[in-house]
A and B are shown apart, each in its own frame.
Chain A
Amino acid sequence: MSGAVQLVRDPIDPAALMARVARPAHGALILFLGVVRDVNDGRGVTGIEYSAYEGMAARELESIADEAVVRFVGADVAIEHRLGYLTLEDVSVGIAVAHAHRDEAYAASRWIIEEIKRRVPIWKREHYVDGSREWVDPSGAVSAELAQ
């Protein structure tokens, strides 16, 4: 993995992530944090266990970062995704994007999180207040497209 992208087990440091993309030429810096919340589909959540096909997840994150700087010319990006057991309000993913201008920075940030959710092999198992656990299945509709 290049310096732009990391899978981590320790807490994500948003300030460090922002520092990696800040440049004098960038007038806009967007920080997106994905955070573990207390309810999903009406069920009380106590925590989420993240696991990954680590080699491929790193490769896909890397290619998302590479594609982002081609699509949004002039952007600098840094991405960290955390693995392991996270509790409420823990940061699961951090995306820092800096660009000379805000339009491109916002667009790149949004594009990156959607691509992560679409194609990076990371899974989450939610732990609920009643003690049960379940793998999250956001959609089965992407399989045909990704196999192209």
Chain B
Amino acid sequence: MTVTVLLFASYADALGEASLELDLAEDATVADVLAEVSRRPGAASLPPAPLIAVNQRYAARTARLRSGDEVALIPPVAGG
């Protein structure tokens, strides 16, 4: 299956991209996305357990994914 990974702010700067398309196994979880992303150039400066949202809702690393999901890596938020 394919998921879209969104990167923002310092994470987008680190990887040099704002989004990625990943091909994953059918039973993939958020943790699998993090493992894939961690192999990308520039990923070394990302924290080991970044905050994640799936389809615009905060999600745990164990959350199962479906094809077409939008998985966002959320840097520490700083609104206000």
Residue ranges of A at the interface with B (Cβ–Cβ < 8 Å): 34, 50-53, 55-57, 59, 81, 92-93, 113, 116-125, 135-140, 142-144, 146-148
Contact = CB atoms under 8 A, between A and B. Distances in A.
A53 B6 contact: yes
Nearest to B9: A123
Nearest to A61: B79
Most buried by B among A119, A121, A135, A136: A121
Interface of B: 6, 8-10, 13, 47, 49-53, 56-61, 72, 74-80
Contacts of A92: 80
Contacts of A50: 79
Given A140-B47, A147-B59, A147-B60, A121 B76 contact: no
A135 to B, nearest CB: 4
Contacts of B50: 143
A81 B75 contact: no
A29 B72 CA distance: 37
Contact of B77 (A55, A117, A125, A147): A117
Contact of B78 (A53, A113, A138, A143): A138
B80 A93 contact: yes
Given A51-B9, A55-B56, A121-B53, A139 B76 contact: yes
Contacts of B58: 119, 146-147
A53 B61 contact: no
A135 B10 contact: yes
Given A51-B8, A146-B51, A148-B60, A121 B80 contact: no
B30 to A, nearest CB: 9
A117 B79 contact: yes
A50 B78 CA distance: 9
Given A116-B80, A139-B76, A144-B49, 6 more contacts: A50-B79, A55-B56, A56-B56, A57-B79, A121-B72, A123-B78
